[in-house]
Amino acid sequence: MVSKLETARAQFALNLLRTSSKGDQNCFLSPVSMSVALAMTYVDAADKKKLQMNQVMFSGTTSDEEVHASFRELVSKLSEAKNGCELTTANKMYAPKGVAMLSNFADKLSKHYRNSVHAVDFINETDSARKETNGKDAETTKQRIKDLLAPDVLTTDIRFVLFNTIYFKDERAEQFMDYRTEHATFYATSNEEREVDMMYLRKYFKYSDHPDCEVLGMYYKGSDLAMYVFLPKKRDGLAELENNLTGARMLRLIKGGQFTEVEVHLPNFKLEMNFRLDETLSSLGISNLFDYNKADLSNITGDRNICCSTAIHKVFAEMGLADPPPTFVADHPFLFTISDGKSLFFLGRFTG
């Protein structure tokens, strides 16, 4: 059974997708990665900022203890060994040398998020500090995500840098190994057609048919993770489907369906996304965190005069995937997610 908190996180994921990019653009993000990073700042946050974050991220439905217990379980799941696919994450907070964390904050950060605070010299060795944090981020993501922090991001007045990196290597289930690829038409819009490399195979997948969309679930070998594709019935129906989806319905669609033989046509695609998360979060209602006069992170160091100056999100994905069976032809824009049925680890929109 899906909990209220899991439903709230799924709704937050959809809101992030809608706010971070236009509906006719490719988009790819990791709601889980973002949520873990934000939840780390939620630890011992002051009342006004905490209220904003609770309403936007958790729909105001959960207590602090429920929030941290849920993320403790999620971080533990992310750290488990996987068979057939790689999913790794690392949480790190960097602070200037000489800045002391309050013990209560440091203890909760370690207990719930397996994180500790690392001291670096932002003031005297700004560029070296940037290279150090970028190097650790690149290492976690197997060199897929490099130079997350541009040269102008770190300045001498920076007080904290919060890193949450997540890396996923797509090793498809055995049933997806013998596909063939052929050139095919992708109907990006009602007026635009593109040629794509279309993967084709006919095997057993999790599948369900609904009035407005078809849902295809493709599991990764030895894992409870699967890639789910939400294909609108109408070629130009992605915007309508995306606008009408709720987090609760998306999780129901993931949970539903049956394994059946399906003839699948799916584009082989690669997506990389980099955007300012602080702008997206502010527009969703989490603005105090980035406001020098309202952030109040005094429960972290005892100093009220600090805030989160910026948040950057960058993510990379490469996907290659007796009656007649259903035909699943993804030749027009669709939504997709990688999920275990409870959390949306990745969420994206492919428009060609």
Per residue in 48-104, pLDDT (tens digit) is 667 788 888 888 766 777 877 887 887 777 766 555 566 767 667 777 777 777 777
Got the DSSP string for 140-170? HTTTSS---S-TTT--TT---EEEEEEEEE-
Residue 48: count of CB within 10 angstroms of its CB: 12
DSSP 203: E
pLDDT at 320: 57
CA-CA distance, 46 to 102, in Å (whole number)?
14
Angle, CA of 87, 332 and 193, to the nearest 5°: 120
Q: Which two tokens stand for residue 272?
A: 């990389």
Helix residue spans in the chain (DSSP H): 4-20, 31-42, 47-58, 64-79, 103-113, 126-140, 238-244, 247-255, 277-284, 298-301
Secondary structure class of 103 (helix, strand, coil)? helix
CA-CA distance, 40 to 112, in Å (whole number)?
9
pLDDT truncated to tens, each residue of the chain (352 aa)?
A: 778 888 988 999 999 999 887 878 888 888 888 888 787 777 655 566 677 888 888 887 667 778 778 878 877 777 665 555 667 676 677 777 777 777 777 787 777 777 767 777 777 777 777 777 777 666 666 666 667 677 766 666 666 676 666 777 665 554 555 678 889 999 988 889 999 888 888 889 999 999 999 999 988 777 778 889 999 999 999 999 999 999 999 999 999 999 999 999 988 877 777 777 778 888 888 887 777 777 767 777 777 666 676 677 777 666 655 445 678 889 899 898 988 888 888 888 988 8
Q: What is the mean pLDDT of the chain?
A: 79
Nearest alpha-carbon partner for 315 in 344, 282, 286, 283 = 344
CA-CA distance, 231 to 330, in Å (whole number)?
7
CA-CA distance, 229 to 206, in Å (whole number)?
11
Torsion from C-alpha of 288, 89, 151, 42, nearest 10 degrees:
10
Nearest alpha-carbon partner for 321 in 240, 165, 205 = 205
DSSP 85: S
The one-letter code for the residue type at 173 is: A
pLDDT at 223: 73
Contact yes or no for 314/149 (Cβ under 8 A) = no
CA-CA distance, 217 to 206, in Å (whole number)?
5
- All structural domains of the chain, each given as residue ranges with its CATH number in brackets, are 4-80+86-169+271-318 (3.30.497.10), 174-268+320-350 (2.30.39.10)
Contact yes or no for 226/339 (Cβ under 8 A) = yes
The one-letter code for the residue type at 236 is: D
CA-CA distance, 123 to 158, in Å (whole number)?
8
Nearest alpha-carbon partner for 312 in 107, 116, 125, 152 = 152
Helix residue spans in 88-202 (DSSP H): 103-113, 126-140
